[in-house]
Amino acid sequence: MTVIGIFGPTATGKSRVASAVAERIPAELVSADALQVYRGLPILTNQPTEPTRLVGIWPLDREASVGDYAPLAHAAVDEILASGRTPVVVGGTGLYLRAALAELSLPPAPAEGARARWERFYDVSGGEAAHAHLAALDPQAASVLHANDRRRVVRALELAEAGASLAPAENRLWSHETRHPTVIVGLDLSKDVLDRRIEERTRAMFDAGVEEEVRRALAGAMSLTARRALGLEAVATLPRDEAIAVLAARTRRYAAYQRKWMRRIPGIAIVAANRSAEEIADDVVALARTRE
């Protein structure tokens, strides 16, 4: 039996397509999204309304990681296959999709306190000095990072200290076989259509009460990973019109990144997403059947 993976930039309709696929064949949905694993931010993280595994499984104060997610995703996929149904793995976090579908070689855990120590080093010494230090430790990783990219420079320094490298993790994400026969479909839209959808969805989030949702979330404990939810700070601190503009702009940038990521997946079948979810689902099911 073939596993189906559905990937694509945010607002291309992945959840609707996955749901339509499940209406056509015996299937269950599995989320591959780094923020949908959290409870408490269903509007901000665009959690699906259809029953989907690995959505809302952790409290907001938990530090989430792909290493924690991967075994849960493998167990979900294997259980669905054992039941005679098709797992439909759907999401927009490329690394989580990869982790759900294949064995992911994860770097060693950093030493205790390493993240905070390297963050202090970056902040005190400056981005250029931190990047130069990284170049001495791991030239390959330094060659693909900009000195101003604080988060990834710090992560690269962390890995270099632990005897690993950010560069191989970036370059070999899809170099291994999937755990089961798999067809991966990428949903694609023209930039103007996608931008319009992002704007519409952003406004709909505010109409649905995302501001109150964020206020409630921030009133409790939140992990650093939960605080990375796109737009969290803008929704919390800016007037509504400004927050909408900022969130839409950041979402457009993220969608551009997702599109680049999508093109790197070997064997992905790119399908036009400017049609109904039902039409796209028919194509997805047909593709899956040709791989069986």
As a whole number, mean pLDDT of residues 44-68 equals 95
Distance (Å, whole) CA 258 – CA 73: 21
Distance CA 247, CA 243 (A): 6
Residue 184 has a pLDDT of 96
Helix (H) or strand (E) holding 91: none
Q: What is the mean pLDDT of the chain?
A: 92
The average pLDDT across 157-174 equals 71
Please provide the DSSP assignment of 121-147 as one string.
HHHHH-HHHHHHHHHHH-HHHHHTS-T
pLDDT recorded at residue 90: 98
pLDDT band at 1 (very low <50, low <70, confident <90, very high): confident
Q: How many CB atoms lie within 10 A of CB 105?
A: 12
CA distance between the termini of the chain: 6
pLDDT of residue 176: 53
Predicted confidence at residue 291, as pLDDT, reads 76
For the cut 60, the answer to whether the pLDDT of residue 173 exceeds it is no
* % of the chain with per-residue pLDDT over 70: 95
Report which of 252, 253, 233 is spatially closest to residue 243, judged by C-alpha positions.
Answer: 233
Where b means 16+ CB within 10 Å and e means fewer, 109-143 reads ebeeebeebbbebbeeeeeeebbebbeeebeebbe
Facing residues of 184 across strands?
Answer: 5
Calpha distance 31→49 (Å, rounded): 12
pLDDT for residue 136 is more than 50 = yes
Going by pLDDT thresholds of 50, 70 and 90, the confidence category of residue 292 is low
- What is the predicted pLDDT for the residue at 110? 66
Edge to edge, the sheet with strand 3-7 lists 52-53, 27-31, 86-90, 3-7, 182-188, 269-272
Length of the chain: 292
Residue ranges and CATH numbers for the domains of the chain are 3-104+174-291 (3.40.50.300), 114-171 (1.10.20.140)
With H, G, I as helix, E, B as strand and everything else as coil, classify residue 255: helix
**pLDDT for the residue numbered 2:** 92
As a dihedral over the C-alpha atoms of residue 95, residue 59, residue 226, residue 263, rounded to 10 degrees, the angle is 20
The answer on pLDDT for 108 being more than 90 is no
Residues 6+ positions from 246 with CB-CB distance below 8 Å: 231, 234, 238
Structural contact between residues 38 and 227, judged by C-beta atoms closer than 8 angstroms: no
What mean pLDDT is predicted for residues 88-103?
93
Asked if residue 130 has pLDDT above 80, the reply is: yes
pLDDT at 172 over 90: no
Q: What pLDDT, in 10s, does the model give residues 242-279? A: 999 999 999 999 999 999 889 888 889 999 999 999 99
> At residue 177, what is the residue type?
E
pLDDT tier at 103 (50, 70, 90 boundaries)? confident
Report the 10 Å Cβ neighbour count for 190.
11
Please give the Cα distance from 216 to 14 (Å, whole number): 28
pLDDT of res. 131: 95
Mean pLDDT of the region 60-84: 95
> How many other CB atoms are there within 10 angstroms of residue 247's CB atom?
26
Q: 10 Å Cβ neighbour count for 85? A: 15
The CA-atom distances, in angstroms, between 154 and each of 26, 223, 244 are: 44, 18, 30
Residue 171's pLDDT band (boundaries 50, 70, 90)?
very low
User: What predicted TM-score, i.e. pTM, was given to this entire model?
Assistant: 0.82
